[in-house]
Amino acid sequence: MLRRLRPFVLFTIVLLVAALALEVSNGRFWLNDLRVYYMAADNMRHGMPVYNEVFGEDTGLYKYAPAVLYFFEPYTFLPYSAACVIHFILMGVMLVASFVGVERTLLKVAGDIPRASLRAGLGLLCIVVLLTRELHLGNINLGLIFLTVLGTERLIAGKAVPAGISFGISWLIKPYLLLMIVPLVIRREWKALRTAAATMVIGLLLPMLFEGPRMWWELLHEWVHAMIHHTKVLDSPDRVGAILGGVIERPLSTLFDVILIALVGGALAWLTWRDRQRDEALPSRDMDRAFELWLAAAMVPNLVITDQQHFMFSLPLVLFTLAWLFTKRDMGVLLLFLVAMLGYAMRSTDLWGKALENRMVGWGVLGMGNILLMAVACLAWSHWRSTLREPESHG
Give the 3-state secondary structure of residue 57.
coil
Give the 3-state secondary structure of residue 45.
helix
d(CA 105, CA 8): 17
Q: What is the DSSP string of 213-249?
A: HHHHHHHHHHHHHHHHHHHHH---TTSHHHHTTTTS-
**Domain residue spans of the chain:** 6-388
pLDDT, tens only, 94-153: 999 999 999 999 999 999 999 999 999 999 999 999 999 999 999 999 999 999 999 999
Neighbours of 77 (CB within 10 A): 10
Specify whether the CB–CB gap between 309 and 174 falls below 8 A. Answer: no
d(CA 318, CA 143): 18
| Predicted local distance difference test score (pLDDT) of residue 283 | 72
Q: Which CA distances in Å does 278 have to 267, 271, 289, 292?
A: 17, 12, 12, 15
End-to-end CA distance of the chain: 33
d(CA 38, CA 32): 10
Per-residue exposure over 273-298, b if at least 16 CB sit within 10 Å of its own CB, e if not: eebbeeeeeebbbbbbbbbbbbbbbb
Weakly modelled stretches of the chain, pLDDT under 70: 1-2, 246-252, 279-281, 389-395
- Displacement of CA 284 from its chain's centroid (Å): 24
Residue ranges of E strands in 233-380: none
| 54 bridge partner residues | 61
| Predicted local distance difference test score (pLDDT) of residue 392 | 43
Specify whether the CB–CB gap between 291 and 318 falls below 8 A. Answer: no
Under 8 Å CB-to-CB from 39, ≥6 apart: which residues? Answer: 55, 56
pLDDT, tens only, 24-69: 999 999 999 999 999 999 999 999 999 999 998 777 899 999 999 9
| Predicted local distance difference test score (pLDDT) of residue 192 | 98
| Predicted local distance difference test score (pLDDT) of residue 50 | 96
- Displacement of CA 100 from its chain's centroid (Å): 15
Cα four-point dihedral sign 79, 84, 87, 88:
negative
Q: Which CA distances in Å does 120 have to 140, 150, 157, 299?
A: 21, 17, 21, 22
| Predicted local distance difference test score (pLDDT) of residue 395 | 36
d(CA 7, CA 15): 12
Q: Which CA distances in Å does 159 have to 185, 191, 330?
A: 17, 10, 34
pTM of the model: 0.95
